[in-house]
Structure 1
Amino acid sequence: MKDASFIQSLFSIFLLFSDTASVAADPNLLQDLCVADLNSTLRVNGFACKPTATVSEADFSYAGLATAGDTNSTVVGSKASAATVEKIPGLNTLGISMARVDYAPGGVNPPHTHSRATGIAFVLEGTLEVGFITTANKLISKTISAGEVFVFPRGLVHFQRNTGTTPAAALAAFNSQLPGTQSLALTLFTASPAVPEDVLEKAFQIGSNEVDKIKDRLHPK
């Protein structure tokens, strides 16, 4: 009987640890680095590592945020420049990335979400009205100026607007190597294949002519 009781106890402990292992993840990195092989077609919730022998300093640096984005190239008056794993392969598995956003006077970074990251924005110059909307449909908004920061919780719709008469710029940091950005208007009105027009009409309570006008403005032919 004692042997049976002992075996049962061991089996119970085994089940406990087996269940824990099935839901737990590695809390720390298992290697020094895993520089992304952007040419590999292999994907396992991220990028495959390229051979260590081919890793260089260039994999860990990027100069793309040094120059202001061309805000005249967009219809909304803002331009985002990302420094994600796609630009810095050395970010692979590290869980961080950055972006620079430049705003013309009155320019807007339209309502969008980052499905994989919380963001924190630091204003470099100018004044921005920033905000996000909770799932209870409450707007959390504030006007911030150079040197101030604002946090955007993961997955929540948020925006920024330059309320000044001069250009503005901000740096954003994310706790993901590839935050995933979805601009609501672009996602809904320029998707391919297209979202059915009657869905857009009913969702926004507009007619087909308005849907076509919005599509033309966001994605000129």
Structure 2
Amino acid sequence: MMKGVHFLVAAVLLALASSFAFASDPASLQDFCVAIDQYDSESAVFVNGKFCKDPKLATANDFFFSGLQNPRNTKNQLGSNVTLLNVDMIPGLNTLDISLARIDFAPYGLNPPHTHPRGTELLLVLEGTLYVGFVTSNPDNRLITKVLNAGDVFVFPVGLIHFQFNVGKTNAVSISGLSSQNPGLIVIANSVFGSNPPISADVLAKAFQLDKSVVTSLQAKF
């Protein structure tokens, strides 16, 4: 009888361990996996969306990027420019679950409401003053905001809509770390009004409680 109880307890513990084991991505079993194009090698191994270079062929340049200190062009409609260093820019980031971004803002420039479906963002203000915030999920959709100055840090939880707005009269610069080698980007306005093919204007008019002509006008802007 006791053996049966012990076996049952062991089976339950094993099942729990298995469920925890598959609850998140497995830890890397190698030092690194430098990403390469699938056509570069007939013997490459496909890992997490990228093929891996033979580790013996890795060089310092696979883990290197230069020039992030240089200001980016913000002469656009939004007055901002995001330079994302993900696995596509630094192949050595593959499987390491991290990326980096520099965001430049002209005076009153905006990084519009967007989400990163695969990464939490940790933002550090280097220059200027930013009004930042994110919106919690249903049912409350609560807006959490803060005005940040140089040296301040703010966290945007994974998947939540967030934004950054330069409320100062001078340029602003921030650096963000993201908890994914490729966090993804969904800009809300672009996705809703600029999808290809377009979402039905009838659908958007009802969803946003707008006149259909207003929706058509918004779609034309994208």
Question: TM-score normalized by structure 2?
Answer: 0.86
C-alpha contact 1:65 1:83 (8 A) present in aligned 2: no
Aligned to 1:55: 58
Say whether 1:194 aligns with 2:198: yes
Say whether 1:32 aligns with 2:31: yes
**Alignment size in residue pairs:** 214
Aligned to 1:124: 126
Aligned to 1:79: 81
Aligned to 1:215: 219
Say whether 1:173 aligns with 2:170: no
How many angstroms does 1:105 deviate by? 0.8
Say whether 1:17 aligns with 2:7: no
AA aligned to 2:210 is I
C-alpha contact 2:38 2:51 (8 A) present in aligned 1: no
Unpaired runs of 5+ residues, structure 2, are none
C-alpha contact 1:133 1:156 (8 A) present in aligned 2: yes
How many angstroms does 1:12 deviate by? 6.0
Question: TM-score normalized by structure 1?
Answer: 0.86
SS in 2 for 1:123: strand
Unpaired runs of 5+ residues, structure 1, are none
C-alpha contact 2:46 2:52 (8 A) present in aligned 1: no
Q: Which digits, 9 at most, give the CA deviation of each residue in 1:53-83, with x for residues without a partner?
A: 33111110112523222111x3211111101
Aligned to 2:209: 205
Q: 1:194 to 1:44 in 2, by over 3 A?
A: farther
C-alpha contact 1:127 1:144 (8 A) present in aligned 2: yes
